[in-house]
A and B are shown apart, each in its own frame.
Chain A
Amino acid sequence: MTLLQVDGLVVGYSAAPVLHGVDLTVPPATIVTVLGANGAGKTTLLRTLSGLLRPAEGGIRFDGRSLVGVPVERVVRLGLAHVPEGRGVVAELTVEENLRLGGVWRADRRDVRLAQDEVYELFPALAARRKHAGHQLSGGERQMLALGRALVARPRLLLLDEPSLGLAPRITGQIMALLRRLCDETGLAVLLVEQNVRSALSVADQGVVLSLGRVVAAADAAQLRDDAGLRHAYLGF
């Protein structure tokens, strides 16, 4: 069974595509990490999946339905939430407003409130700063808020772009552990783009290595950890 199925995805101008025929599957309740150097096309992949970019070729099926051509603002309604690189907290809005924004399209207001309370339980640091504006938060708090805000939509698949960027290792560890827990307990699937290869592989079930817009390896995370040749060639450790 697959939740997300990507086939032969080509993105970019014909002269200089960024992705050249990427295949990928994400089963439910699984963390798949996308690894690769800068410029490998990881962010482009996520931006295409959530509809911010349009593929030149190839298919994206989410839960059996094609996402190609679906407007960005509709994609989240289908159960796919994208937390962009740089976290995407709206700096001018308060913590509470950012969280409300996460469920702004949902009709079930009671469940939105419930989901917000759950986020405050997951991240007590945010609960203490409800009325603070986004720009007053620390980097870690911003990442928590961006992640929590995505969860308010009750997604089935979470696209995370470099959640560890600029965070202390301890906070990165907390966030990775939380992803694992959400995945095991709620059946959430995660597509995790990371530069921090070690922490990504420590939490992921499967890994995909991108290099210059092509998939050069796709295997269980444990296998990728143990493949010294691959690590040296593409992951730099």
Chain B
Amino acid sequence: MDRFLFLTVDGLAKGAVYAAFALAVVLIWRAARIVNFAQGAMAVATVYAAYSVTQATGSYWLGFAAALAAGLLLGAGIERAVMRFVPHTSPLNSVIVALGLVLLLQAVLGAIYGNEFRPVETPFSRTGITVGGIALLSRYDLFVLGAVLVLVVLLALLFTRTSTGLRMRSAAFAPEVSRLLGVNVAGLLTFGWALAAAVGALAGMLVVPTELGLHPNTMDLVFVSSFTAAVVGGLDSPIGAVVGGLAVGLVLSYAAGYLGSDVTPLATLALLLVVLLIRPGGLFAGVRTRAV
């Protein structure tokens, strides 16, 4: 029972990061109908930016802010300079371009920082707090959970309470009608990419310290888990991304705990298969409202 509790709590902490990263994937999918396979590489680039700033200033929090700012800039830049010009004739076009971006970003990062693992510091201790004899969450895990919770609340408020959120939803669902109503659809697309990349940067900052260290490929596996989370939740649904992220975190944690770490990738695959067999659109896929 203790072991179950530990694995659950650990899974939720991991899942929170997958949820944040899945949100980044969902944001771009909703805005642009592009699965951004470069999300992981983009996030790593922002964590390197944070690394440099922290090295130079000695402040974790300045680095943290730098990662978010770098995310905003990188996302907007990639949309303006690259993705805008990818023709929408086939969904594969943007996938290929995104994969090209992965190679480019990882090569550039490797050239600047070298291909070694660099240790990154955490603002809080990673030793678990002992509750009733079981070492449960660490302070850092609490920070991760809190940060993701704040992110989810802020995004929910943005989309449901603000005029920008209304415009973003409308621009995604009906771009031409939105333009006729005075909505700057192209500008919102850039904003959507910037926002998604900043969310990715946050997820990167949270997850990299729990991995082996900073390396141009650090986020590759995290991206796979998070992409699975986004698909499990239904690519269109932010709630789905959060639930999917937590589900993937739990499944990975239970599988590693009870079956051994060799089978964890298979567990993710099994979860994906089961969900897609039962609900091909993902758990929270909306009804196809456009088909009348």
| Residues in A lying within 8 Å of B, measured CB to CB | 50, 52, 72-74, 76-77, 81-82, 84, 88, 90-93, 97, 100-102, 104-105, 133-135, 149, 153
Contact B180 A105 (CB under 8 A): no
CB of B181 within 8 Å of the partner chain: yes
Q: Which residue of B lies closest to A91 (CB)?
A: B289
Q: How far is the CB of A60 from chain B (nearest CB, A)?
A: 16
- Whole-angstrom distance between the alpha carbons of A201 and B183 in the complex? 33
> What's the least CB distance linking B198 to chain A, in Å?
23
Check B133 for interface membership: any CB of A closer than 8 A. no
Shortest distance from the beta carbon of A207 to any chain B beta carbon, whole Å:
25
In contact, B173 and A104 (Cβ under 8 angstroms): no
Known pairs A93-B169, A93-B173, A104-B166; A88 contacts B183 (CB<8 A)? no
Could you tell me if B179 and A91 are in contact, using CB atoms closer than 8 angstroms?
no
Q: Please determine whether B180 and A104 come into contact, CB atoms closer than 8 angstroms.
A: no
Q: How many A-B residue pairs have CB under 8 A?
A: 72
- Give chain B's interface secondary structure class: helix
Q: Mark B180-197, 1 if CB is under 8 A from A, else 0.
A: 111111000000000000
Given the interface pairs A91-B289, A92-B169, A104-B163, the reply to whether A84 lies near B182 with Cβ below 8 Å is no
- Residue in chain B with minimal CB distance to A102: B181
* Contact A88-B289, Cβ < 8 Å, known A100-B166, A101-B170: no
Q: Which 10 A-B pairs have the closest CB atoms?
A: A105-B182, A88-B177, A135-B289, A72-B179, A76-B182, A91-B289, A90-B174, A92-B173, A73-B179, A82-B180
- Further pairs besides A77-B182, A104-B163: 4, Cβ < 8 Å: A52-B176, A76-B180, A90-B170, A101-B166
Residues of chain B lying within 8 A (CB to CB) of residue A133: 289
Which residues of B come within 8 Å of A, CB atoms?
A: 163, 166-167, 169-170, 173-174, 176-185, 286, 289-290, 292
Cα of A101 to Cα of B175 in the assembled complex, Å? 13
* A50 and B180 within 8 A (CB): yes
Most chain A Cβ neighbours within 10 Å, of B166, B177, B181, B185: B181
Query: Does A104 lie within 8 Å of B183, measured CB to CB?
Result: yes
Name A109's closest neighbour in chain B (CB-CB). Answer: B163
For residue B231, give the distance in angstroms from its CB to the closest CB of chain A: 20
Q: Would B166 and A97 count as touching, CB distance under 8 A? A: yes
- Complex Cα spacing A76 to B180, Å: 7
Asked whether A91 lies within 8 Å of B290 as measured between CB atoms, the reply is yes
Q: How distant is the Cα of A52 from the Cα of B175 in the complex, in angstroms?
A: 12
A168 to B46, alpha carbons, bound, how many Å? 57
Closest to B174 in A: A90
Q: Which residue in B183, B289, B292 is a CB contact (below 8 Å) of A92?
A: B289
Q: Are A72 and B180 in contact (CB under 8 A)?
A: yes
Give, as a whole number of angstroms, the nearest-CB distance from A47 to chain B.
Answer: 9
Once A93-B173, A135-B289 are accepted as A-B contacts, the answer to whether A88 and B166 lie under 8 Å apart by CB is no
For the complex, what is the distance from the CA of A149 to the CA of B156, rounded to whole Å?
25
Please report the C-alpha to C-alpha distance between residue A78 and residue B291 in the assembled complex, in whole angstroms.
Answer: 34
B161 to chain A, nearest CB (A): 12
Give the complex CA separation of A101 and B169 in angstroms.
Answer: 10
Q: Contact check: which of B169, B177, B290 meets A84 at CB < 8 Å? A: B177
Q: Which residues of A contact B167 (CB under 8 A)?
A: 101, 104
Does B289 lie within 8 Å of A73, measured CB to CB? Answer: no
Give chain B residues whose Cβ lies under 8 Å from the Cβ of A97: 166, 169-170
A-chain residues with CB within 8 Å of residue B170 when the two chains form the complex: 90, 93, 97, 101
The answer to whether B183 touches A73 (Cβ under 8 A) is: yes
CA distance A135 to B182 in the complex (A): 22
Task: Name the B residues within 8 Å of A88 (CB-CB).
Answer: 174, 176-177, 180
A153 to B182 Cα, complex, angstroms: 9
Task: Give 20 pairs: A residue, B residue, CB < 8 Å, sorted on A.
Answer: A73-B179, A73-B182, A73-B183, A77-B182, A81-B180, A84-B176, A88-B174, A88-B180, A91-B173, A91-B289, A91-B290, A92-B173, A93-B170, A93-B173, A97-B166, A101-B167, A104-B163, A133-B289, A135-B289, A135-B290
Chain A residue at minimum C-beta to C-beta distance from B181? A101
Q: A90-B173, A93-B169, A97-B166 are in contact. Are A135 and B180 (CB under 8 A)?
A: no
Identify A76's interface contact among B166, B181, B289, B292, CB under 8 A: B181
How many angstroms between the C-alpha atoms of A223 and B180 in the bound complex?
34
* B286 partner residues in chain A, CB cutoff 8 A: 92
The CA of A100 and the CA of B178, in the complex, are separated in Å by 12
Q: Which of A72, A76, A82 has the most CB of B within 10 A?
A: A72
